[in-house]
Amino acid sequence: MAPPVERALLEEAIELATEAGRLTLDWFGSSRLAVERKSDGTPVTAADRAAERFLREQLAERHPDDGILGEEEGASAGTSGRRWIIDPIDGTKAFTRSVPLFSNLLALEDEHGPAVGVINLPALGETVAAGRGLGCWCNGEPAHVSDRSQPTSACLTTSGFSHWEDDALLSVKHAGFSLRTWGDAYGYALVATGRVDVMIDPVVAYWDVAPMLVILSEAGGHFTDWKGRVTADGGNGVATNGVLHDEVLRLLNAGD
């Protein structure tokens, strides 16, 4: 068993993600927000860049020996055996359309694996965070997944349906799940707090889901890729209350 992470690191990560979120709100809903396209076609704004720059500067000052991986500025090597992962705005498409379901993500890995994960939802005033061995918390209150065990009584959410293979989508639909699109990291926050039972992403990057490994585990649930591997590097993601996980994986891979 990996040892619990220091509580101070969890509290620090929450503090930093929350402050980064305040920065992004300066642009949220503003007519002066300009949207650019990166080389992969995904959107980026000044808010994304400012939030990541803030987090990098703070982490470099507080933990100069730690590595950093961020969506906008790439990787910086460290020597401590720890690495911070930054997604300054997860759900940039929502952000640019003034939809308040975007988030700021921050995760920490150490020599034992996933250590800290934070989903900060600044426009909603909500933060879901967890530290290894310390539990999962939503605005300071304990958070836990649901106990629903039947698809017909469960809610499955996703970031969107355009990237789904038809067989996978029809499989979960015919199983009886109630389907919604409360997506991006907000969907994972909903699973961790028991409001939704399953969150599925057909396409993700590492920084999109790095916090979910510890958040879902500490909330009593499960996070894997579509093949059932406990990793943020699988290119897709499945978060469940644990009870439904094997069934959801079976449905997603029914056409293989």
Q: What is the residue whose two structure tokens read 């978060």?
A: 239
The torsion angles phi and psi of 61, rounded to 5 degrees, stand at -75, -40
151-252 fold: D-Maltodextrin-Binding Protein; domain 2 (3.40.190)
The torsion angles phi and psi of 148, rounded to 5 degrees, stand at -65, 135
The span from the CA of 187 to the CA of 173, in Å, is 18
Beta strand ranges found along 16-173 (DSSP E): 35-37, 43-45, 67-70, 74-76, 83-90, 103-110, 113-121, 126-131, 135-138, 141-142, 155-158
Average pLDDT over residues 6-22: 98
Q: What is the tens place of the pLDDT at every residue in 71-92? A: 999 999 999 999 999 999 999 9
Cα within 13 Å of Cα(38), Cβ side: 13
Amino acid at 47: A
Percent of the chain, pLDDT > 70? 99
> Per-residue pLDDT for 141 more than 90?
yes
Whole-number pLDDT of residue 32: 84
> Per-residue pLDDT for 197 more than 90?
yes
Instruction: Give the pair of three-digit tokens for residue 130.
Output: 């967890």
> Per-residue pLDDT for 186 more than 80?
yes
The span from the CA of 173 to the CA of 182, in Å, is 16
User: Cα 139 to chain center, whole Å?
Assistant: 16
> Per-residue pLDDT for 254 more than 90?
no
Q: What is the tens place of the pLDDT at every residue in 159-168? A: 999 999 999 9
pTM: 0.97
Average pLDDT over residues 118-140: 98
Q: What is the tens place of the pLDDT at every residue in 229-253? A: 999 999 999 999 999 999 999 999 9
CATH superfamily for 7-142 is: Fructose-1,6-Bisphosphatase, subunit A, domain 1 (3.30.540.10)
Whole-number pLDDT of residue 255: 67
Parts of the chain belonging to CATH 3.30.540.10: 7-142
Parts of the chain belonging to CATH 3.40.190.80: 151-252
Whole-number pLDDT of residue 122: 98
Whole-number pLDDT of residue 39: 82
Whole-number pLDDT of residue 180: 97
Beta bridge partners, 118, equal: 106, 129
